[in-house]
Structures are given as C-alpha cells and as structure tokens.
Amino acid sequence: MVPTSRIQIVTTEFPRPDSGPVFVPENSNLDCEFSGLPAWQSNGGPHRGHPARSLPFSVEAKLNSEYGQMVRIHLLGIFSLFAGREEEAIGTLGATVHVTNSREAVFRQDLLNGRHYFDAHDLSPLSIVNGDGTSLETVGSCEINGIEYRVDLLTIDVPQGAVGEALRIRDLGSPASFVVFDILLEYMAAKGCPFHIKSGGISLGEIGSSIRIGDRLKFTKSIDQMENALRTTEDLDEARGEALTFLAVVTAATIEIGGTRAMHRALLESAREFESLTTVDELAEAVRRRAEYVAASIFKEVNSPSSYLVDRALALVERNYAKNLTDASVAALLGLSTSHFRFLFKEATGQPFHKFLVSLRLEKARQMLNEQDIAVSSVAKAVGFAGLSHFSRAFTQRFQVSPTSIRRGGE
C-alpha cells in the first residue's frame, strides 16, 4: 500500500488595513477556511498621481516550523490590478515572494506579467501550470469600487530544505498592484512521504500531450476527471457527447504516435455503445474501459511496489519542467540511485527521462504559442530551453512545423 502524506494547510496572519475588499470563495480544492478579512494591497497604478502609488511595497508573515516542512505557498488574491497591456508590458517583473531566515532569502520566486499574474479586469477563468513550480487557478471574482475583478489562487512550490522564519511579498514598483486576501501555507508533517500535487482540471490538449509523451499519471488523472464529470451530468445526451469527445482525443493522440487504423473502428464502436447506454454511471464505466483499452499499447501496466515513485516523479516534472532537471536530481529527491530511477522511469514511460522532459517542454511550448501572444524566444526560455536555435530545431523535428509558423498563424 502506498503511504499517504499528512498535509496541513494553515491560514497565516499578516498586517491588514482596517477596511478594504474582502472575498470568501464558495468552493476550493484546499482543505481549509478563508479569513474573509480585508485584503492587503501593494503599491501600483498606471501613473505617479494614482492613489495606489501611496500603498505599501511589501508585506511579511511569520512562519511556524512546528507544522513540519513547508511545501507550498498559496496566495489568494487579485493578480493583478493595472496589469493590462496598455499599463504594463508582458514579461514585466512585478513582484517577488521570499522565504527569509535571519533577513536572508532562502527561497525566491519572481512574479512575471503574463506568466504568474495577468490583467484581473479580464474575468476569463485561468488554469495554468507554469513549469517553474507555480500555478494559477481562478476561484471567483470580487468587486472593488464598483468594478468586478478576477480572483485567483497563486500556488508556489517551496524546494525541500528551504526553512525560513518569515514570508515576504515585495512589490517591485511596476504599475501592477497585487491584492492579497489570504496567505495559506501547506506543510507536509511527515518526511519521506509520497509527493502529492493539487492541480486544476486537465484540458483536452493536455490529455493528448500526456499520451504523446507517455505520462501515465496525467492520463490516469484525466480519466478520473472525465468519469467524475460524467457522473454529475444530468443530461445523458450531453454526457455521451463529452465522453465521445474525450475518447476521440485519446484515439487521435494514440494514432499519431503509431496506433493502428483499428483505432478508428474502436471509436465508432464506442459511439454505438454509448448510444445504447441508459445511465451516466454506465457511461462513466464504459468510457474508462474504452480509454484504457485504446491507450493500452502506449502505457504499460505497472503494479510494482515502486510504481508510486514514478508517479511522484511525473508530478514533480509536471510542475518544474522549465527548471534544470536531471534524472540524477529527481532520483535524489525520491531517495533512489540514478541507475535505479532510470530503469523504473523508462519501464513506466517507455523512454529515458531526458527525452520525456524535452517532449513535455515542446508540448507546453506548442500550447503557449497557440494560446498566448508571446514571442518565440520568450516561449523557448519559459519552457526551459537555453537557446532559441536548439528550441526551433527540436520543435520543428517534433511537430513538422516551425514555432515561427505557429506564431504567424501557420497551424
């Protein structure tokens, strides 16, 4: 049996104004309560005379090592005001988050416009995993001075061994102004427990990507996500359509990397079966069975006692793919020898660690080029490539189209 971690999430006190905007989310994946107290807001504003220019540049919260090893920082807030293109350029370094010990930083996370925060006046929900140990998930909206703004949960992974006395958020003086409702610290009470990750929903594009690169963990999560969604759907026809769309993505990705033409017939047979089912529970069971059958040729069945270690590695890589990861560094985090980790990883994914990592970076890059208006050179750097030429060659070789062509609308 895989041991489970004892995770504790603590809402941390920090200096607040006597009045100001408040926000209490109705739903959250975090097992904790939010304060509903007035928010702290940082310095900002599009011009010198703006009222937000008189606000403080930093806020500090005390840390308590008695809870155990801090593994994540969750910031609930508006990220951020005055961050639109007419006010601040994409890529601007707007703030930093520090874990400090004796006034020295033991960990630092820079916050960049277009990566860790966006124009909060745009209410379109976000669900982003950046690959540098951070993620952003929209949890609702809040009204300030009669204007509605998007409220997000910014999550920052804290590296092992980064033990500090205080957490400091510092605004660096750009137009962006950050509103923080709550600071929540996630602690792992027991050492050596499996690495767990809380993330948002998995998109259809990510489902295809998980199959193409051999990420069994994410693929399994996507099936769980699909099954749970189907079981809560009241419209059976809508559920059938969702199930078939999901299975079509799985089938297409499998065919793309070498699946046989028999997969087309399997998809047609699935459509016929789905039409004959009369309950969402039957449909949920059928889509799981069909999806696992289609992907069986890609993912090996792994039932060894060490399989959870590969799952931990895959979760770690998913959140940190843009960092300088190596099989040796990941093996050390898992408490394994490099050679043993290499064997387990290749057995589970069908490819060496470095090839898997590069494939993941390229999949993330294609997603960024399709969905965000960011320069190709910035995308290459954001996903972890040291040079533009290397990135362009690898991208073109994998997708048979250059990254520049996608940026120009060539795909």
| pLDDT tens digits, 148-184 | 999 999 999 998 778 888 999 999 999 999 999 999 9
Confidence of residue 189 (pLDDT cuts 50, 70, 90): low
Residue-wise pLDDT for 332-371, tens only, equals 888 788 888 898 888 888 889 999 999 999 999 998 888 8
pLDDT exceeds cutoff 70 at 192: no
Q: Which secondary structure element, helix H or strand E, spans residue 266, and what is its range? A: helix 262-276
pLDDT of residue 346: 87
pLDDT exceeds cutoff 50 at 5: no
pLDDT exceeds cutoff 90 at 109: yes
pLDDT exceeds cutoff 60 at 387: yes
Confidence of residue 212 (pLDDT cuts 50, 70, 90): confident
pLDDT of residue 6: 47
List the beta bridge partners of residue 72.
157, 186
Averaged pLDDT score across all residues of the chain? 84
Token look-up 């916050």 returns 111
For 76, the 3-state DSSP assignment is: strand
Q: pLDDT: is 278 or 220 the higher one?
A: 278
Confidence of residue 302 (pLDDT cuts 50, 70, 90): low
The pTM for the full model equals 0.65
Q: Where in the chain is the domain with CATH 1.10.10.60?
A: 307-407
Fold of the 307-407 domain = Arc Repressor Mutant, subunit A (1.10.10)
7-188 is a CATH 2.40.350 domain:
no
pLDDT of residue 194: 24
Angle at 134 between CA 131 and CA 138, to 5 degrees: 115
Instruction: Tell me the C-alpha distance between 22 and 38, whole Å.
Output: 5
Q: Which secondary structure element, helix H or strand E, spans residue 40, and what is its range? A: strand 40-41
CB 271 within 8 A of CB 283: no
Which amino acid appears at position 153 of this protein?
L
Long-range contacts of 332-341 (CB under 8 A, 24+ apart): 333/160, 333/195, 334/309, 335/192, 336/309, 341/309, 341/313
pLDDT above 90: percentage of residues in the chain: 41
List the beta bridge partners of residue 343.
none
Instruction: Tell me the C-alpha distance between 74 and 152, whole Å.
Output: 10
Q: pLDDT: is 314 or 228 the higher one?
A: 314
Q: Which secondary structure element, helix H or strand E, spans residue 255, and what is its range? A: helix 236-256
The neighbour count for residue 117, using CB atoms within 10 Å, is 25
pLDDT exceeds cutoff 90 at 92: yes
Q: Which secondary structure element, helix H or strand E, spans residue 150, and what is its range? A: strand 147-157
> What is the DSSP code string of 176-223?
-EEEEEEEEEEEE-STTPPP-----PPPHHHHHHHHHHT-HHHHHHHH
CB 162 within 8 A of CB 107: yes
Residue-wise pLDDT for 43-56, tens only, equals 999 998 999 999 99
CB 94 within 8 A of CB 112: yes
Q: Where in the chain is the domain with CATH 2.60.120?
A: 7-188
Q: Which of 269-278, 299-308, 309-318 has the highest mean pLDDT?
A: 269-278
Pairing of strands 7-12, 69-81: unpaired
